[in-house]
Amino acid sequence: MFLRFLLLQFKTATRSPMWQKNLALNLVIGFFLLLFAVYLLMLGLLINQIMNELAPHQDHFRMFNGILLYYFLADLLIRFLLQSLPVLTIESFLHLPVRKGTIIRYMLGRTLFDVFNFLPLFILIPVTFTIVIPHEGSLHALLWIGSLVILIGSDNFLVIYLKRLLGVKPAVVGALGCLLVSLVILDRLNLISLSDISSNVFSYLPAHPVSILLPVAWLLFTYWLQCQFLSRHLYPDEVQKKKVEEIHERAESRFLKSMGLTGSIISLEFKLYFRNKRTKTILYMAPVFLLYGLMFYPQSIYQHQDGFLMFVGVFMTGGMMLNYANYAFGYESCYFDGLLTKNIDFNQYIRVKYYIAVLISTLCYILTIPYLFYGYKILLINTAMYLYNIGVLSFVLLYFSTFNKKRIDLSRGGAFNYQGVGASNWLAIIPSFILPFLIYLPFRLSGYPYTGIAFTGFLGILGLFFTRFFIRLITNSFHQRKYIMAASFRER
Tens of pLDDT, residues 61-87: 888 888 888 888 888 888 887 777 766
Query: Burial level of 182, CB count in 10 A (0-12/13-18/19+)?
Result: exposed
Residues 55 and 163 in one domain: yes
Residues 183 and 324 in one domain: no
pLDDT computed for residue 387 by the predictor: 92
Task: Read off the pLDDT band of 104 (50, 70, 90).
Answer: confident
Distance CA 119, CA 424 (A): 33
Q: Do the Cβ atoms of 16 and 120 come closer than 8 Å? A: no
pLDDT computed for residue 217 by the predictor: 92
Residues 72 and 189 in one domain: yes
What range defines the domain where residue 101 resides?
Answer: 29-234
Taking residues 280-286, what's their average pLDDT?
72
The whole-chain average pLDDT of the chain stands at: 79
Distance CA 61, CA 144 (A): 11
What is the CB neighbour count within 10 angstroms for residue 217?
Answer: 12
Is residue 11 in a domain?
Answer: no
pLDDT computed for residue 136 by the predictor: 80
Give the range among 153-162, 236-245, 465-474 with minimum mean pLDDT. 236-245
Is residue 17 in a domain?
Answer: no
Residues 386 and 481 in one domain: yes
Residues 390 and 483 in one domain: yes
pLDDT computed for residue 245 by the predictor: 44
pLDDT computed for residue 20 by the predictor: 60
Is residue 418 in a domain?
Answer: yes
Answer yes or no: pTM beyond 0.75.
no
Distance CA 33, CA 219 (A): 27
Is residue 8 in a domain?
Answer: no
Which residue from 142, 82, 158 is spatially nearest to 116, judged by alpha carbons?
A: 82
Q: What values do phi and psi take at 241, rounded to 5?
A: -60, -45
Give the range among 16-30, 235-249, 469-483 with minimum mean pLDDT. 235-249
pLDDT computed for residue 242 by the predictor: 44
> Higher model confidence: residue 447 or residue 81?
447
Task: Read off the pLDDT band of 312 (50, 70, 90).
Answer: confident
Is residue 240 in a domain?
Answer: no
Is residue 168 in a domain?
Answer: yes
Residues 169 and 90 in one domain: yes
Residues 445 and 302 in one domain: yes
Residues 130 and 40 in one domain: yes
Residues 485 and 414 in one domain: yes
Which residue from 396, 376, 372 is spatially nearest to 474, judged by alpha carbons?
A: 396
Q: Which of 234, 266, 298 is the last residue of a domain?
A: 234
Taking residues 409-438, what's their average pLDDT?
65
Q: Which of 169, 202, 234 is the last residue of a domain?
A: 234
Taking residues 424-443, what's their average pLDDT?
76
pLDDT at 308 over 50: yes
Give the range among 58-67, 333-342, 439-448 with minimum mean pLDDT. 333-342
First-last CA distance in the chain? 33
Distance CA 367, CA 349 (A): 28
Is residue 7 in a domain?
Answer: no
Domain count, the chain: 2
Distance CA 250, CA 26 (A): 37
Is residue 16 in a domain?
Answer: no
pLDDT computed for residue 401 by the predictor: 85
Residues 291 and 341 in one domain: yes
Task: Read off the pLDDT band of 473 (50, 70, 90).
Answer: very high
Q: Which of 234, 260, 284 is the last residue of a domain?
A: 234
Position 342, amino acid:
K
> Higher model confidence: residue 138 or residue 297?
138
pLDDT at 40 over 70: yes
In order of 79, 167, 216, the CA distances from 163 in angstroms are: 10, 7, 22
pLDDT at 277 over 80: no
Residues 174 and 315 in one domain: no
Residues 206 and 307 in one domain: no
153-157, 164-168, 258-262, 413-417: which is most confident: 153-157
